[in-house]
Amino acid sequence: MSSETRHRQPTRWATVAWILAGAAIVFLVLWAMAMPDLNGVPASKLALGRGGTSRPQAAPKPGVSPSATGSPAATQTATPAPAQGSGPAMTEVTESVTVGSLVRTYEAFLPSHPVAAQIPALIMLHGLGVTGDEEALRDGLLWMAAGGDAVVVYPNGYKMSWDGASCCGSAQIEGVDDLDFILDVVRSLAADPEIKGIYVGGYSNGGKVAYEVGCADPSLIAGVVAVHAVPGGACPDDGPVSLLEIANTTDPRVAYDATHTIPIVNGFRETTVLGEVAAWKARDACPAASTTATGDRLSTQTWSCSSGTRVVLATYAGGDHGWPAGAPGTPSAGQVIWTFMSPP
């Protein structure tokens, strides 16, 4: 090997070293950009504005949801974003509010492309033993936000439970102030000029708190939605408000009528579905006659009341305590709720 060749060899090694060093620098920069911050949220996804964390979402198919017990791990098929935009169909934003000594959180699903200058909002309270996000998987209501039709909000209960007066779980045992929490969420939504009409709904345990909101200050909301739930305590008549009651006739936990065993929960004798509907009709000064629509398994009765409100009873023949997922010829509970929120 000549002296000239020996002299050039270190130069080639130096070039290779510079290339490797450059590649290492590029790798470190990319790794740093993707690395989560101290809160575990990628810096690129930190919300701008109200301090929540946001996640783009795809649009679930309307009316598709797990049935019966609703496993928290259940998933849904997503559909593409609306045609009017190339971005995500909706954004999930985590918000918080302090009630007493507790910091409470809720997930707000905001449409990327609202269909109108003002749209309604639905606050949906989950059942016992799941989070708000898990309830969203079970009940299949997010298509309302994905389609731009409504803001959909899922508050998180205390240790996955709500104080529904007569029950349930840690929230009831520890006397957590769930009513003020949900009223705070309602007031926050009411302050948004792009929202018109706030509905508070709940499934099972959450439905009891939805009733409490409608009983406490009906002037704040457009309606109450109760799925497999009746109130857990006395409801003062503080004014008319619309009600949608969704029930299965053979629900083992909620008595449909007086022919079924009426639960006594922690000493409180619950009402029946038909009994609660009758009480709400009296509250809203509804006529005796109703408009009835009957399908394969679902029967819907609607009373248009003198106060301008409506009382609607959606009855599924048979069924257990699970969320009504619907079937060919039978609308899901989610579709029934949307019809209630968007009357002709």
Alpha helix positions (H), the chain: 3-34, 132-139, 143-146, 169-173, 178-190, 205-216, 273-283, 333-341
Peptide bond into 235 cis (omega under 30): no
Q: What does the pLDDT average to over 6-33?
A: 44
d(CA 188, CA 20): 54
pLDDT for the residue 125: 98
d(CA 33, CA 35): 6
pLDDT band at 230 (very low <50, low <70, confident <90, very high): very high
pLDDT for the residue 319: 94
pLDDT for the residue 246: 98
CATH fourth-level superfamily of 50-341: Alpha/Beta hydrolase fold, catalytic domain (3.40.50.1820)
Cα–Cα distances (Å) from 54 to 14, 69, 80, 138, 320, in that order, read 46, 29, 19, 21, 36
Domain ranges of the chain: 1-35, 50-341
128 close to 168: Cβ distance less than 8 angstroms: yes
Kindly report, residue by residue over 88-120, the tens digit of the pLDDT. Answer: 699 999 999 999 999 999 999 999 999 999 999
pLDDT band at 64 (very low <50, low <70, confident <90, very high): very low
Evaluate if residue 23 carries a pLDDT over 60: no
pLDDT for the residue 75: 27
pLDDT for the residue 261: 87
Kindly report, residue by residue over 260-297, the tens digit of the pLDDT. Answer: 988 888 888 999 999 999 999 999 999 999 999 998 89
pLDDT for the residue 179: 97
Please give the mean pLDDT across all residues of the chain.
Answer: 80
Q: What does the pLDDT average to over 74-83?
A: 31
Q: What does the pLDDT average to over 181-189?
A: 97
Kindly report, residue by residue over 124-135, the tens digit of the pLDDT. Answer: 999 999 999 999
Q: What percent of the chain has pLDDT over 70?
A: 74
d(CA 154, CA 106): 6
48 Cβ contact partners less than 8 Å away, ≥ 6 residues apart: none
d(CA 136, CA 107): 10
Evaluate if residue 221 carries a pLDDT over 50: yes
pLDDT for the residue 21: 53
Kindly report, residue by residue over 161-178, the tens digit of the pLDDT. Answer: 999 999 999 999 999 999
pLDDT band at 35 (very low <50, low <70, confident <90, very high): very low
pLDDT for the residue 336: 97
Closest by CA position to 64, among listed 330, 312, 325, 335? 325
Residues in the chain: 344
pLDDT band at 30 (very low <50, low <70, confident <90, very high): very low
Please tell me the least confidently modeled range out of 27-31, 96-100, 222-226, 251-255. Answer: 27-31
